[in-house]
Amino acid sequence: MPSESHKVFSISFGPSDAVTLSVGSNGSLALQTRAVQSVEVLSKSKVTTSRWTHITLVHHKHRTSHGSICMSFKTVPIGCLTLSYD
């Protein structure tokens, strides 16, 4: 996670988070899922303090074992994280 991260959004099923979106003290966003254990720091996004910021997460379910979570920052697509369902 970015240094001194703060959770912005999470989805939990049971004791652990399935999806977590955090913002670091430097304004960068980070996305982590239960399916992908590593933290994906989204360097194209910088959240400024004291400003309203629109962040969109979209889960694209796939019929096979690989779906994705795509993220938009201020309506601009900034990245996708591919998921592997085991």
How does pLDDT run across 67-86, given as a tens digit for each residue?
A: 788 888 878 887 777 766 55
| pLDDT at residue 60 is higher than 80 | no
Per-residue pLDDT tens digits for 12-54: 888 888 888 888 888 888 888 777 777 777 776 777 767 778 8
What pLDDT does 1 receive?
46
* Residue 22 burial (C-beta neighbours within 10 Å; 0-12, 13-18, 19+): buried
- Rg of the Cα trace of the chain? 13
Residues 6+ apart with CB under 8 A from 36: 81, 82, 83, 84
The pLDDT of residue 82 = 75
**From edge to edge, which strands make up the β-sheet containing 66-73?**
55-60, 66-73, 76-84
CA atoms of 52 and 74, how far apart (whole Å): 10
**Sequence ranges of the domains in the chain:** 6-84
